[in-house]
Each structure stands twice: as C-alpha cells, then as structure tokens.
Structure 1
Amino acid sequence: MGNIAIFLYSIVFLSVSCTAIYRVGVDEDVFLRCLSRQSARPGDILQNVYTRNSSKYISVLESASQNPRWFNETDERPYLIVVPVEETDVWTVVSCSKVHQIQIRVKSGGHDYEGLSVRSEYPFVMIDLSNLNSISVNLTEETVWVQAGATLGQLYYEIANKSKTHAVPAGLCKGLGLGGHVSGGGLGTLMRKYGLAADNAIDARFMDVDGYFYDRNAMGEDTFWALRGGGGASFGVVLAWKLKLVRVPEQVTVFNFRRRLDLGNLRLLHKWQKTAYKLPEDLFIRVLIQKVGDGRGNASIVQVTYNGMFLGPAAGLVQLLREKFPEFGLETEDCFRAPAGNGNCTSMPCIMKECYQVSWIQSAVFFSGGKTDQPVETLLSKFKNTRFFNKGTSDFLEAPIPDQGWKMIRQMFLSEDSPIMIIDPLGGRMDKIPEYVIPFPHRKGNLFNIQYLINWSGDNSAQVAEKHLAFKRSLHEKMTPYVAKWPRTAYFNYKDLDLGRNDYHCNYTVAKVWGEKYFKGNFEKLAKIKAGIDPLNFFRSELSIPVLK
C-alpha cells in the first residue's frame, strides 16, 4: 500500500505547483477508513477526528484559532480536523492526505495573524497538535524537551516548578504554541541577554514527508538550520524542540511608565530610541503606543508606555534608571506599594508609574496581561476567542523615527478605534549573532522591531473589516520613509499576506519578493534545503518556502 501511495503521489505532483490538482469531493468515509487502515491504533485515532458533520467540529475549530476573523468564510474551513494524541498519528494523517491529494495545515498555538494553519482556499486537513504537549525539564544538563503543541504558559510553569532560577528565552503571550513560535524565531523579553528562542534550540524531533522521524543528528545540520527560524511547516512537521535553559535571578523587576505622546515634548521618546538598544543586557525596555480613553466620554489620547524588565532586584533597577532615565523618577519604595497615578482617571494617563519586584515566573504572568499577585496557574488557562478580531504586520528600524514620523503616527492613531504599535529594542546578544547562523537575519544594524496590531470586536462584516484593514495598510505605507529598506524587512512570526504570497506554481522568483523581506539573503538557502527535504512540495501554503533546485 505504501509504495502504491508514493507512486500515485509522484504522478500527481510532477508539476510541483503550489496548489496542484485536488479532488474537491473526497468522501469522508473513504478518508476515515484510510486513517483507520494506516494507523497503528485504528480504534483510537478516529476518536480524535472531527468532520464538518461532527457536533464538536465548530467548537474544536474555535478553540484552535486565536483570531476568528475568518469564521465567516466557511468554504475555507478544514475538510476535517485531527487532534493527535500520539506522534505516530501525525504520519497517519500525512500518509492519507498524500494518497487522497489533500493539503495539510499544522497548528500548534493558532496565533498566526493570517490564520494559515486553520484556513485554506483548497481542501485540507488540519492537524491540531495541542494534545502533544509533554514537557521534560532536565536541570542537570540545563535543557528542556517540549512537544510542539505545548504553550509558552505551560512551558514557563513547568520550568518554574523545577527551578526558580531557570527560564527559556521566548515570547510573552502565554497561549503561543512552541512549534510555530520557535520555528519562526521567537522574540521575547530575554532576547537582549540570551537571543531568540530559536537561537537556544539545540535539537528537534522532526517528521518528513515520507514519515521518517529524525533528531538533529539524523536530519543533518542544513535541515536543522532551516527549522530554527525558517518556518518549520514548510519542510515537514516539527514534533518537539530541545531548548537550552538559561539562568535568571530569583528576583526580577517589572515596570510600566506611561506618558502622553506629546508632540511638543518628544525628548524622552527620542532618548529612549537612542538608548534602549544600547542598554545593559539585563535591562529590557520596550514601548507600547496605544489610543486610550478615560471611559467617561472625554477625548482619547495617544499613550506611550515604557514597559520592561530588569534582571535583578528593584534597588539595582533604580540605580540604573537614575543614570539612564531619571525622567521616570523611580524610587525603590515604588516597587513595593500601589501604583502611582490618578486612580479616578480625571486626567490621563491614569496610572503614570508602576513597578514590582517579583519572581521570574510572576513576570511571565505580568507580561501575559495578568497582575503580579495572580496565581501562576493563570499561565495554564486557555481563552477561546470568538469576538475579538485583529490584523498584524511588522517592520524593523535601522534608525530612530523622527518628529514628523511621530506626528503622523499620532494623527493616524486618533482616527482608528484600537491601534497598537509595540516597539521592541534589539541590540545586546542579538548584535553578536551573525545573520546567517539561523534563517532569522535581523541582527546587528537593526535597532528595533515594530509590531503593528489593529483590533476590533463585535461586527466582523466585510465592510467593517475592510475599514480596519485599510487603516493598517495606510499606516504601513506611511511608515515607509522611517523603516529598514532594500529590502523592507519583516518578522516571519508576524505573517502578512499584504507583503506578498506564493503564486499558483510556487515560483521561486515570485516568492523571493516576500521571502527576502522575512529572511533576506537566507531565503535562497532555505529554498535549496526545501528541494532536498520535500522536493515535490507537499508541505505548502501561501507563505511556504518554495522548491529551488
């Protein structure tokens, strides 16, 4: 049966197109029988398969996607959803998808801004890895094996259960899936000290298109290189990562300092732009730009929040800020009392200053949107998002934004409902790693990463959605003079189809337009590796790496 399947697959995909020719009306019963026949657990695997006729199908799909923007587009939903409980189940699904000429999409956390793991124009099977979430911490060798379906919150919680002085450099959102996060790079609060999540990946468990399972030694260094930041779903299925644990102090200090975006006084913002990427590696200060109101119907303001963490106790942070940013006016006692500000919010920003000395795991709660006195178990909670919609994109800055740029940003923000810009400083360890070491190339010379987010809720009609999407595109266009150029670059984990997408044939020349924005000169190497590991281009999507022979 296996040889016949491979033969049929080869005939169908000789053209190596991105879409190829799909059988639109594959009978569900036929596909389910294939799963049962191919599986080593024929009676069990079907218990975790959901067809469009299943009573739980919609609930499972809603839980899988963290952005419900596409729920109106029912024709883009999965042909069926499989939620494996064993890694071998993944091969069963891939094998049957090859035989029946159906795409697959692999979902770990479901936070893809374009929803490419949960939707497609063509018939596809979604493999939801959320049940593959085991975590094994080894303090002796200071490593952790984590399956791709585990979330960052689960990983941080398990590490903290074993040690108060170890962590993994990775993102802030507790619901992010490890599989996709590490495969795209993995920015986070520890990156200036230790680099990206992908920089700290030292092994992986990976399945290729033929169902072979590999570790780093077996797959070879080229394939392992591609998986660490090149988008693992283009090459096969990343089932687990082995990550280095890094040392953190027992106590760290987190903080927010809020100001208006005042065009008459941009000195503090300019100082931050010229300083944040050069600060000591123990200090991370990012900026959040938001439109906020007081809840009383008064005019909204554009607020700047200096949000960050110091790897050490409050006294050390205070000493450092007195030297670098005395404008914040931080004293040690501020970190052990209620936040300073206007509790009644009669003027804005309502809370000007807040600071907390906490354990590292409590800092993870803080950065995921919680309060530092909440139990760390909140990192394990899951949120089903059915009402809040968003669109994101990104840029890198090689120079500070000048006055006219901030004036434009303020004007644009006041015209939209809930826009956000998150500007993360790079520098530190990020400058010391050459851009070719992993596919993520945005190293020395890049001062900041910008994440743009547009949010709306309630009404997701085509007219309303297009209004918000048009704002995002306009803001992105108006930022052109101020961001990295030749090419204008972007971060792969903040996917944006407006920056380009594959054509019907997955043509390399076409893909290069978007590929070099995310990967610069590393894109060609990724495409050559793709040709070796998946030459018939089974693992593909609108933003998959093409085959270059």
Structure 2
Amino acid sequence: MKASRGEGFVLVQFFVFLASVLSVSCSLLVDPAELLLHCLRDYFPKPYPLSGIVYLRNSSSFQPVVQSYARNSRFMSLSNLNPSAVIVAKNEVHVKGTIICSKKISLEIRIRSGGHDSEGLSYVSKLYYAIANATKTYAFPAGVCTTMGAGGHFSGGGYGNLMRKYGLSVDNIIDAKIVNAKGEILDRKSMGEDLFWAIRGGGGASFGVILSWKIKLVLIPEQVTGFSVSKTLEQGATALVGKWQQVADAIDDDLFIRVQISTANGTQRGTKTVQVNFIALFLGQTRRLLSLMSESFPELGLQEKDCIEMSWVESVLFYSRMPNGTSIDFLLQRDLNTKVYFKRKSDFVKEPIPKEGLEAVWEKVIEAGDVWMSWNPFGGMMARVNESDTPFPHRAGIKFMVQYGASWLAQNATKTKLDQIEAIYDAMAPYVSKSPREAFLNYRDLDIGVNSDSKFFKAEVYGSKYFKNNFGRLVRVKAAVDPDNFFKNEQSIPTLSYN
C-alpha cells in the first residue's frame, strides 16, 4: 500500500457460501456435495489442497463454519442456513474452481464477505488497521462498523463519516478483480467500464465474486476532532433536530454531524422520553470546530470540554463508542459468538420534517421502546457527484439518509420487534422520498420487494428504490455478463430474459 500517492491495494478476504441445490436431477443417487467435491479434486491442481477449504454436511466442523460469520441470529439456525457445502476460499483458484464446478452440477452459490447482510442473503476491519499503520495523513471513506467485510460494503455503495468531504467508498475505487460466471478472473481493463461501473454500488454478488479492490486513499489531518452531545425532549431536542435539518447538509464539508435517536428514561419515574445524540467528526482541531459551530449551530451549545482530539483511526473507535484510549488492535477483533437478532430499514429525506411531524415520530419511537434511528447528513461531495456516475443514485437533493434499527436477544421477540420498526417506518412515510420511496442497498430490506423466481417485473419493484434510473443500466450489464443468471439472490439484478 503506497500512501504517498493516496492509492493502495486492498486484498479482500472472500468466503464462498454454497446454498441449497438449485436443480439437480432426481435420478442422481450421489449427494450433490459429493459431486462438487469430486469435481473440485479434479479441478484444483496439487498446490491447492482441499483440506480446510471444503466442508460437507457430515463434517463436525460444518455447523461452526456455516455460522461463524453470520452476524444476524435471525438466520443462524441450520433450518435457515441449509447449504450442501461451504467453501472457505483462500485464493483465486478456489473461487474459480467453485464457480465452474457449481455450474457443472447445477448448484447455486451464495457469496459471503463480512456476514453483515441485514436479511442474510450473503453469507474484521483489517483495512483501517493497515492504513493507520502505514500513514497518519491518509484515510479511506467507508463505514465505521468494525466487523463489516469490504467486499459487500464497497460494492453496495458503502458510506461513512467522511462522505460529505470525499463521497462514498465507490467514489474512491480505481480498480477491482472479479471472477465472473465463466470462471474468468478480470480486472478493470478486461472486465470493461460497464461492469466496473455496476460493481461499484450495484452489488457485486449479482455479477460475480469480488477478489480485491484497488482504492484511492484521501488526505486527512493528523488530528481530527469528535464530539458526542445528547439531549432529551425535555432539554429541547425537538428544536435542536429542527435546526440540525437546516444546517447539517450545508455546513462546512469538513464537519459530519450524525443524529442518533432512541428512547431514554423520562424525568418522572416510570416514563420514557426520546434522546437525541449529536455525534460528529470534524477534519480539524477543536478551535476551528468551535468557531464553525458557534456560527452555524450555536443552539447545541458545544463547549471545548465536549470535544476530543484524536487520529482518524481513533475516530472509528470513537464512533463505535469505545472508551477513549482504546488500542486500534480492537479493529482486528471479531466476536464470532454473536447472539443478536436484528432488522434494518432505510429512507432518504429531501425536505426538513416539520415540528409536528417530529413530534408524531417521537410518539412512535417511545411506543416502540428499543427501535432507534440514525440520521446521516448529505450535502458536500455527495451533492456534487452525478447520480449516474455510479449505481448509487441518492445524491443531489438529499438532505439526510435514515437508518432504522432494532436489535434483540431472544428469538420469541422477533415478531414484536419487526412490528415496532415497521410502525416507525410507517410514521416517517409522509416526510421521506416518494415515487419511489428510495432505499439503500447496504441496509438490505426484503420488505420492499422480493424476486425469488427471477422475474424482471418483480425485481423492478425493489430495483427502482435502490437504484432509481440506474436500474435499467444494471439490468443491461447483467444480461451481458451473466445471461444465465448464475449469480442471484432474492434481491439481485435480473436479466431481461427472465420474465
């Protein structure tokens, strides 16, 4: 990784997940996984052994491997995760061979990177750690959740708290390597600009297996500043959110102020209220930040004691609510024993929500109890990139993006939690984008449409929400590079021939 030119190579670890049989002749007496194993033995040369790579259902390691990177407990039972085999690919040959052999015996594959897909359709933040150890003055504009995999995050249009200054991850990718449906390994030059365009925000899993990304690092100061200030309704949170809506997308590009909305205990015993947390990253030092806030958002009352100066990589830990001084080694940790169930949804807001609208939403937040929202301001670079430059179309005219979240620990609470998050989503309907009601691919949401039988008209329902006018171009790219629709899932890009 050469930070001196703001460029670097990132080799993304890939994980190929073989799902249930798509079409295997019923006359076969051999388990399709055994056929796969036989094919792989013939295909893989001797320098690439299968030991520790291929896991069949009769292996004692099968269940732990299947569940190891599944972040959402809603999809961790083997009744939901029902693959014929799991391939833990360690090099390009493993990926290429798996694709060729799966096609040969009619097995469907699913590709898993970090296991973060909110609806479980895909199944270690080493990138930031590597950058931080190489340079103090360069960074990469992507997410702040430390357990994401770069493969899916980048290809879905991943964003983070540098987006107002530098845009999305996909705005800063300069090359990639992908294995296509023919088992060919392609870079930007050999795949062509159409496919390179499609995988930068259109979801790589519809087009192939992403092996690696070449990314452009961005310049940052050695010291950045963060703050986190919380206010309840009783402390004037509604008026502060109203002002935030006016300034957050228009303030200096160096300043990103996220609003996180949740419930808290009220001032009277046994009551609940809404708490709003204003959490920010500023690409500069405290003195200039205070001057900007005094000029643009004095109502928040930000003070020097609220501000923490740190390196950029430490700000990732700050956004993850880790204690000040936590070692960046934390970025290499990954708890594989997750027991959390969760659901995510998304929206885009183009006009400020009026006071009466906020108050109506607050009522639903209090009723729901454990559902939260994260409002992320746009403007800056997000408004300067044309919506057709990448498949991610939510650019100029968007004030902020909404993430809805619910997490719980017990399976029997699932329906209640899903109903609660839906109630808040419904309450927000009058105030978000319409025709279509836009959505963010990386906050995967099967509620907005499912295409289990590869029909174009079904895919168009969710495709128009995720990609707007870019959906048509994505379909044309899909038809050109994967006409047999080998790479598919419940919300993948279809081909026109599947009607």
1 CA distance for matches of 2:319 and 2:385? Answer: 26
Residue 405 of structure 1 deviates from its aligned partner by 2.3
* 1:355-374 matched pairs, under 5 angstroms: 355-374=307-326
Q: Which runs of 5+ in 2 are unaligned?
A: 1-20
2 CA distance for matches of 1:397 and 1:279? Answer: 17
Matching residue within 421, 434, 437 for 1:472: 421
- Deviation track 1:475-526 (CA, whole Å, cap 9, x = no partner) reads 222211110001110000001000001141x121221111000000000100
Matching residue within 236, 251, 259 for 2:208: 236
Structure 1 residues 417 and 330, CA gap change in structure 2 (3 angstroms): closer
Query: Mean Cα displacement is larger for which, 525-534 or 406-415?
Result: 406-415
Query: Mean Cα displacement is larger for which, 223-232 or 394-403?
Result: 394-403
Residue 328 of structure 1 deviates from its aligned partner by 2.9
Structure 1 residues 299 and 426, CA gap change in structure 2 (3 angstroms): same
The residue aligned with 2:79 is 74
- SS of match in other structure, 2:379: coil
CA contact under 8 A between 2:170 and 2:200: conserved in structure 1?
yes
Query: Mean Cα displacement is larger for which, 21-30 or 488-497?
Result: 21-30
Matching residue within 36, 39, 42 for 1:37: 42
CA contact under 8 A between 2:342 and 2:408: conserved in structure 1?
yes
CA contact under 8 A between 1:66 and 1:111: conserved in structure 2?
yes
2 CA distance for matches of 1:488 and 1:113? Answer: 19
Is 1:422 the counterpart of 2:374? The answer is yes
Residue 422 of structure 1 deviates from its aligned partner by 0.4
2 CA distance for matches of 1:265 and 1:61? Answer: 44
The residue aligned with 2:97 is 92
- SS of match in other structure, 1:450: strand
CA contact under 8 A between 2:113 and 2:151: conserved in structure 1?
yes
CA contact under 8 A between 1:314 and 1:357: conserved in structure 2?
yes
CA contact under 8 A between 1:36 and 1:43: conserved in structure 2?
no
- Deviation track 1:336-377 (CA, whole Å, cap 9, x = no partner) reads xxxxxxxxxxxxxxxxxx421011111111112312311111
Structure 1 residues 231 and 43, CA gap change in structure 2 (3 angstroms): closer
CA contact under 8 A between 2:364 and 2:427: conserved in structure 1?
no
The residue aligned with 2:430 is 481
1 CA distance for matches of 2:86 and 2:227? Answer: 42
Structure 1 residues 356 and 156, CA gap change in structure 2 (3 angstroms): same
Tell me the TM-score normalized by structure 1: 0.83
Matching residue within 43, 48, 63 for 1:58: 63
The residue aligned with 2:302 is 330
Residue 300 of structure 1 deviates from its aligned partner by 3.3
Is 1:521 the counterpart of 2:472? The answer is no
Residue 291 of structure 1 deviates from its aligned partner by 1.5
Is 1:537 the counterpart of 2:489? The answer is no
2 CA distance for matches of 1:81 and 1:364? Answer: 32
The residue aligned with 1:252 is 224
- SS of match in other structure, 2:52: helix
The residue aligned with 1:343 is none
Amino acid in structure 2 at the alignment position of 1:495: R
Amino acid in structure 2 at the alignment position of 1:477: D
1 CA distance for matches of 2:303 and 2:238? Answer: 23
1 CA distance for matches of 2:431 and 2:277? Answer: 21
Amino acid in structure 1 at the alignment position of 2:468: K
Is 1:226 the counterpart of 2:198? The answer is yes
1 CA distance for matches of 2:403 and 2:271? Answer: 25
2 CA distance for matches of 1:527 and 1:26? Answer: 34
Aligned CA-pair RMSD:
2.1
Is 1:452 the counterpart of 2:404? The answer is yes
Amino acid in structure 2 at the alignment position of 1:110: G
The residue aligned with 1:5 is none
The residue aligned with 1:320 is 292
Tell me the TM-score normalized by structure 2: 0.91
2 CA distance for matches of 1:416 and 1:51? Answer: 42
Residue 42 of structure 1 deviates from its aligned partner by 7.0
Matching residue within 440, 450, 456 for 1:508: 456
Is 1:495 the counterpart of 2:444? The answer is yes
Amino acid in structure 2 at the alignment position of 1:194: Y
The residue aligned with 1:399 is 351
Matching residue within 231, 241, 247 for 1:269: 241
- SS of match in other structure, 1:519: helix
- SS of match in other structure, 2:480: helix
- Deviation track 1:302-344 (CA, whole Å, cap 9, x = no partner) reads 1100011110111111111111222333333x1xxxxxxxxxx
* 1:429-444 matched pairs, under 5 angstroms: 429-444=381-396
CA contact under 8 A between 2:373 and 2:404: conserved in structure 1?
yes
Is 1:204 the counterpart of 2:176? The answer is yes
CA contact under 8 A between 2:35 and 2:105: conserved in structure 1?
no
2 CA distance for matches of 1:20 and 1:51? Answer: 17
Is 1:102 the counterpart of 2:102? The answer is no
- SS of match in other structure, 1:435: coil
* 1:342-353 matched pairs, under 5 angstroms: none
2 CA distance for matches of 1:245 and 1:43? Answer: 33
Is 1:548 the counterpart of 2:496? The answer is yes
Residue 37 of structure 1 deviates from its aligned partner by 1.2
The residue aligned with 2:13 is none
Amino acid in structure 1 at the alignment position of 2:23: I
Residue 217 of structure 1 deviates from its aligned partner by 0.8
Matching residue within 251, 261, 267 for 1:279: 251
- Deviation track 1:258-284 (CA, whole Å, cap 9, x = no partner) reads 001349762211110011000110000
Structure 1 residues 394 and 280, CA gap change in structure 2 (3 angstroms): same
2 CA distance for matches of 1:33 and 1:95? Answer: 13
- Deviation track 1:157-179 (CA, whole Å, cap 9, x = no partner) reads 11111110000000010111110
Query: Mean Cα displacement is larger for which, 265-274 or 211-220?
Result: 265-274
- Deviation track 1:15-66 (CA, whole Å, cap 9, x = no partner) reads xxxx963458734333212111111247622322222222222222222111
Amino acid in structure 2 at the alignment position of 1:58: Q
CA contact under 8 A between 1:105 and 1:116: conserved in structure 2?
yes
Structure 1 residues 264 and 371, CA gap change in structure 2 (3 angstroms): closer
2 CA distance for matches of 1:43 and 1:231? Answer: 29
- Quote the sequence identity (%): 42
Amino acid in structure 2 at the alignment position of 1:365: L
Structure 1 residues 43 and 434, CA gap change in structure 2 (3 angstroms): closer
- SS of match in other structure, 1:418: coil
The residue aligned with 2:51 is 46
- Deviation track 1:55-90 (CA, whole Å, cap 9, x = no partner) reads 222222222111111234615422211111112100
The residue aligned with 1:288 is 260
Residue 439 of structure 1 deviates from its aligned partner by 0.3
The residue aligned with 1:141 is none
Residue 383 of structure 1 deviates from its aligned partner by 1.6
Query: Mean Cα displacement is larger for which, 46-55 or 494-503?
Result: 46-55
Q: How many residues align?
A: 475
Amino acid in structure 2 at the alignment position of 1:455: S
2 CA distance for matches of 1:34 and 1:298? Answer: 64
CA contact under 8 A between 1:23 and 1:102: conserved in structure 2?
no
Structure 1 residues 404 and 26, CA gap change in structure 2 (3 angstroms): farther
2 CA distance for matches of 1:281 and 1:374? Answer: 28
* 1:122-133 matched pairs, under 5 angstroms: none
Is 1:381 the counterpart of 2:333? The answer is yes
